Amino acid sequence: MKLTLPPGTFKAYLFDCDGTIVDSMPLHYIAWKTALGEWGCPFDEQLFYAWGGLPVATIISTLNERQRLQMPVEAVAERKEALYYEMLPQLQAVPEVLEHIALSYGHVPFAVVSGSTRDSVTASLEALHLLNHFETLVCAGDYSRSKPDPEPFLLAAARLGVAPEDCLVFEDTVMGIEAATAAGMASVKVPQPWERTSQG
């Protein structure tokens, strides 16, 4: 299937990373299940996808509150990231998005806007030899309010020196699309893994 871009001329493309550029969400879920399982913390797959775009630390803190657990946030986050890194050799790009990166690279500047850590984003992009395609990476820790707040996208636009209305956002989550809309940016919804396979 192809991604249909909204009409208009855009001066910058802003990409979410996990589930948008890289088909990493299934691998992230395995890492989450393993890391949280060590603390007896279940994590439903639907909830995992619904929370796509939230910083790792926020997810662990929220699960602690919901399930009355006291998981050490930093230790669990490090464990989850380490498990994900072990699976990086299995990582693949999302073909529909990769096509647009290949078509537009060198014509408009690119940024990554992610709720993941800089280390995780860098490792994912390096695994697919894509890191050098992006002028800037906006990751967890670079902003105070995460998606669906528009701050991460507005920060990326400012770094690129492009007005928000001239940016096109590629996102796989509802939260990310809401953030792009709040930032005054056009967006493209990237289908989830099961949506892509069901449509061939």
Please confirm, yes or no, whether 23 is among the known catalytic residues: no
| Phi-psi label, residue 12: left if phi above 0, alpha if psi -120 to 50, beta otherwise | beta
> Cα(93)–Cα(180) distance, rounded to whole angstroms?
22
In which order are the strands placed within the sheet that holds 167-171? Answer: 136-138, 110-113, 12-15, 167-171, 186-189
- b or e along 158-187 (b: 16 or more beta carbons within 10 Å of the residue's beta carbon)? ebbebebebbbbbbbbebbbbbbebbebbb
Catalytic residue among 16, 18, 23, 172: 16
**In 135-192, alpha helices (H):** 151-160, 174-182
Asked if 173 contacts 17 with a C-beta cutoff of 8 angstroms, the reply is no
Written as six digits, the tokens of 155 are 């920060």
**In 87-173, alpha helices (H):** 95-104, 118-127, 151-160
Active-site positions read: 16
